[in-house]
């Protein structure tokens, strides 16, 4: 089997429920019915089967609209995916509230977590305890928080309490223009040396982007778009070959503001900072 260029896939199935209730959450917070969860599970298993049949190396990032890891079928799927020979990386965004009993069965060389602390929904002690379990199981992970001003005390506490080997990022609050004073920006930059990358809204129309070329977004039914932010339909993985959908593209949006988007911008060349841990958001200094 000849392996082609590594392809990054962002997967977002139909799941849209969460055990937390953060005020800043941009996602629909609803309760999924038993039938909806069964459909989400069926989509996930079909996707897993498709991944196992691909003749190329794949790096995966699950970006659910809600919390997936509280569902056993996601935990088990990640364990299986982590051992597939063509899966280079399997990563998921999570609030880290789930039981971590399953994690010891995953391949620590490929499984990685993008974890976020949500101050109104858990405690620092509880969260740090979960991080400790990840460390004991040799699972790579980053920790982050939304940089709203009411979270500043938690930002300092987490920075102080997390092991210095764990990268701690702050997502800039950009819904309000000029939200931070110069002093606040300096402080946040000291906490997260890569804060300024995130505190930028990139003007991207016409700019070269890896999205659609070496990275794709796929929904639960297999529909493909270049990224989560441009909805032009490229095809369906269950009906067409990947090669027919991939191609060099430039951005057609005015701007790109999220980490999972701007990491694809060619001019930023963020692989030089994160290398093969770009999906779990861990810069080279912390590898
Ligand atoms: S944990 Fe994430 S998905 Fe859940 S409510 Fe908070 S921000 Fe939304
Ligand atoms: S720059 Fe952002 S919005 Fe534009 S194509 Fe790339 S990922 Fe998508």
Sequence-separated (6 or more) residues with CB below 8 Å from residue 23: 120
- Average pLDDT score, the chain: 96
pLDDT computed for residue 3 by the predictor: 46
Q: Is the pLDDT of residue 29 over 80?
A: no
Backbone φ, ψ for residue 191 (5° rounding): -65, -50
Distance 93 CA to ligand 2 centre (A): 19
20 CA to centre of ligand 1 in angstroms: 6
DSSP 137-178: TT-EEEEEEE--GGGHHHHHHHHHHS-TTS-EEEE---SSTT
- Decide: helix, strand or coil at residue 254: coil
Confidence band for 25, pLDDT divided at 50, 70 and 90: confident
- In order of 117, 190, 280, the CA distances from 159 in angstroms are 12, 10, 18
Supply the DSSP string of 258-283, one letter for each residue: SHHHHTTBGGG-THHHHGGGTTTT--
Q: Which domain holds residue 51?
A: 4-286
Tally the domains of the chain. 1
Query: How many whole angstroms from 183 Cα to the centroid of ligand 2?
Result: 30
In the predicted model, is pLDDT for residue 1 greater than 50? no
Q: What is the whole-number distance in angstroms between the Cα of residue 247 and the centre of ligand 1? A: 33
Residue owning the nearest CA to atom 4 of ligand 2 = 251
Alpha helices in the chain (DSSP H): 34-52, 72-82, 124-136, 152-161, 182-191, 195-198, 259-262, 271-274
Tell me which of 209, 269, 270 to substitute to probe ligand 2's pocket, judged by most ligand atoms within 8 Å of the beta carbon.
209
**C-beta of residue 251 within 8 angstroms of C-beta of residue 63:** no
The arithmetic mean of pLDDT across residues 6-18, rounded, is: 96
Residue 65 has pLDDT above 70, yes or no: yes
| Section 195-220 average pLDDT | 98
- pLDDT at 2 exceeding the cut of 80: no
The CB of 13 under 6 Å from ligand 2? The reply is: no
Asked if pLDDT for residue 81 goes beyond 60, the answer is yes
Q: Is any atom of ligand 1 closer than 6 Å to the C-beta of 144?
A: no
Is the shortest distance between the CB of 19 and ligand 1 below 6 Å?
Answer: no
Instruction: Give the pLDDT mean for 105-115.
Output: 98
Mean pLDDT of 28-52: 93
pLDDT exceeds cutoff 90 at 287: no
Lookup result for tokens 């260029």: 5
The Cα–Cα gap between 227 and 201 comes to 17
Contacts of 152 (CB under 8 A, 6+ apart): 184
Which atom of ligand 2 approaches the CA of 263 most closely?
7
- The 10s digit of each residue's pLDDT in 138-194 is 999 999 999 999 999 999 999 999 999 999 999 999 999 999 999 999 999 999 999
Q: Is the CB of 204 under 6 A from ligand 2?
A: yes
24-33, 105-114, 263-272: least confidently modelled range: 24-33
Task: Record the pTM.
Answer: 0.96
**What is the structure's pLDDT at 152?**
98
CA angle 73, 51, 135 (to 5 degrees): 55
Q: Return the percentage of the chain with pLDDT > 70, whole number.
A: 97
Backbone φ and ψ of 114, nearest 5°? -105, 100
Per-residue pLDDT band for 245 (boundaries 50, 70, 90) equals: very high
Tokens for 227, please give them.
């990224």
Domain holding 35: CATH number?
3.20.20
Which residue, chain included where needed, has tokens 């040799």?
A: 138
Length of the chain: 287
- Which protein residue has the closest C-alpha to ligand 2 atom 5? 251
User: Which residue's CA lies nearest to atom 7 of ligand 1?
Assistant: 25
């Amino acid at each position: 089997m000849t392996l082609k260029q590594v392809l990054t896939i962002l997967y977002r199935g139909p799941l849209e429920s969460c055990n937390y209730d953060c005020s800043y959450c941009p996602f629909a917070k609803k309760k999924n019915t038993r039938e909806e969860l069964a459909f989400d599970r069926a989509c996930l298993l079909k996707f897993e089967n498709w991944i196992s049949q691909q003749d190329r190396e794949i790096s995966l990032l699950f970006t659910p609209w809600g919390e997936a890891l509280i569902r056993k079928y996601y935990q088990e799927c990640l364990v299986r995916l982590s051992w597939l020979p063509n899966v280079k990386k399997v990563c998921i965004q999570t609030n880290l509230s789930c039981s971590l009993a399953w994690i010891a069965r995953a391949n620590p060389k490929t499984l990685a977590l993008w974890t976020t602390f949500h101050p109104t929904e858990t405690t620092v002690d509880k969260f740090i305890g979960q991080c400790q379990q990840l460390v004991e199981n040799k699972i790579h992970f980053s920790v982050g928080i939304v940089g709203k001003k009411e979270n500043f005390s938690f930002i300092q506490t987490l920075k102080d309490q997390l092991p210095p080997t764990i990268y701690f990022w702050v997502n800039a609050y950009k819904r309000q223009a000029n939200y931070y004073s110069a002093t606040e920006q300096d402080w946040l930059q000291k906490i997260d040396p890569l804060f300024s990358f995130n505190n930028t809204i990139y003007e991207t129309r016409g700019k070269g982007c890896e999205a659609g070329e070496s990275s794709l977004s796929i929904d639960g039914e297999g529909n493909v778009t270049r990224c989560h932010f441009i909805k032009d339909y490229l095809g369906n993985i269950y009906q067409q070959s990947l090669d027919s959908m991939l191609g060099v593209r430039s951005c057609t949006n005015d701007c790109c503001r999220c980490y999972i988007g701007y990491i694809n911008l060619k001019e930023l060349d963020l692989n030089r900072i994160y290398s093969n841990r770009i999906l779990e958001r861990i810069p080279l200094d912390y590898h």
